[in-house]
Structure 1
Amino acid sequence: MPLSVHHTSAALRIVASEEGVAQARAFTEDTLRDWSLGHRGDDAALVVTELAANAVVHAVPRAPADASEVWLDLTRDAGHLTLAVSDPGDAPPVYAPHGTCALEEHGRGLFIVDALCEEWGWTPHPPAGKTVWARLSTTSSSLP
C-alpha cells in the first residue's frame, strides 16, 4: 500500500478491490486524526468510501490492464479538506438524485457526497482518466 503523508497532504494508492476501499477509508480516518481533524473523520471517510468505490466499480473494469491505478489524495488548508480520487476512467461521474429511490442499493453515492460536502466536481485528464474531488469544511459538521 504505497502512501505518502505530510503536514498538509497525504496520498494512497488504492487497490482495486473491496479491501482497497476499506484501506482508503481507514487511511482517511487515521490521517485526519493525525491532522487534528478527527471531528471530520466520519464524513470524510464516508465521502472517500463513495468516491473510491465508484472508481473501483465503474472505472477500473473498463480501463486497460496497464492503466488501472486509483489514487486517493487528501489535502488541507486553513479552512477546508479536499478529498480526491483519481482513476483511469473517461466517463464523467453520474449524479442522479431525482431518479434514485432511497431504498436502492446502488446509485446514491454522489447524492451522499453532495449532501456532506460544500462542493464537489471532477476534472478530466486527457487522453484517459479523471479526478473526482470533494471539499469539506474543517469546522464541525453543520448537519444535525
Structure 2
Amino acid sequence: MTNNPAGTTSPTRPAAWAHRFEMSFTPTPRGARLARRLCAERLHSWGVPYGTEAHDDVALLVAELTANAVHHGRVPGRDFRVRLGVPAEPGTTVRIEVADARGERTPEPAPHPPGPDRTEGRGLLLVAALADRWGWAPRPPGAPGKVVWAEYDRRNHDTQTVLGQM
C-alpha cells in the first residue's frame, strides 16, 4: 500500500476510461449518501457486483471520502464533486476522486487510532487500509479547494482472497 497522506502528488490519469461517472452533490449528509449509492450502482453495472469484496471496499472508500468532503471540505453554496472511473487499459484499478472547495483543510490521518469512546477520526485510517494508493492535490488553477483521491487495484485484492483460501 502506498499512501500520500500529507503530500500533494496528483493522481495519474489513464489515457482512456472504460467506464466513468462524474457528478456534483450538495455538501450535506444526504449528498454524501446519494453519491455512495450512485457510485455503488455504477460499479454493479460495470461488472463489480454487489456483495463482492471489491464492490464493498470501493463503496466504503466513496462513503469515507464524501463524508470527509461534507464534514471537513464544506463551503456553503459550493457543491463537492465525485469522479469514479475504471481505465480502459488492461487491469482493474478503480479510481475515486472527490473534489471539495476547502483547499486550506488538507487530509491528515490521525497519528494513532482514536479511542473507543470517539465517534470520529477513523475515516482516513479506513481509506489508508483499503486503498492501494491515496492522496490529495490542489484543484486545477482557478478552482478553489482540493481533490482527495484513492485507487483500489482489484487484482491485488483478488490475489489476496485466492491466496487466503489456500
Aligned runs of 1:17-28 on 2, under 5 Å? 17-28=28-39
Structure 1 residues 90-139: Cα deviation after superposition (integer angstroms, max 9, x where no partner): 12112114152255211110000010010100011256210000000123
Q: How many residues align?
A: 135
Letter in 1 for 2:146: K
The aligned residue for residue 122 of structure 1 is 136
Root-mean-square deviation over aligned CA pairs: 2.1
Stretches of structure 2 that go unaligned for 5 or more consecutive residues are 1-16
> TM-score of the superposition, structure 1-length normalised?
0.83
Question: Are the counterparts in 1 of residues 113 and 122 from structure 2 also a CA contact under 8 Å?
Answer: no
Stretches of structure 1 that go unaligned for 5 or more consecutive residues are 1-5
| CA gap 1:124/1:83 in 2 versus in 1, 3 angstroms | same
CA distance in 2, matches of 1:112, 1:8: 25
> TM-score of the superposition, structure 2-length normalised?
0.73
Q: CA deviation at 1:24?
A: 1.0
Aligned runs of 1:98-117 on 2, under 5 Å? 98=112, 100-117=114-131
**Aligned to 1:137, which of 153, 156, 161?**
153
Question: Are the counterparts in 2 of residues 85 and 133 from structure 1 also a CA contact under 8 Å?
Answer: yes
Tell which has more relative contact order, 1 or 2 (C-alpha 8 A, sep 6+).
2
Q: CA deviation at 1:79?
A: 2.5
**Aligned to 2:93, which of 80, 103, 107?**
80
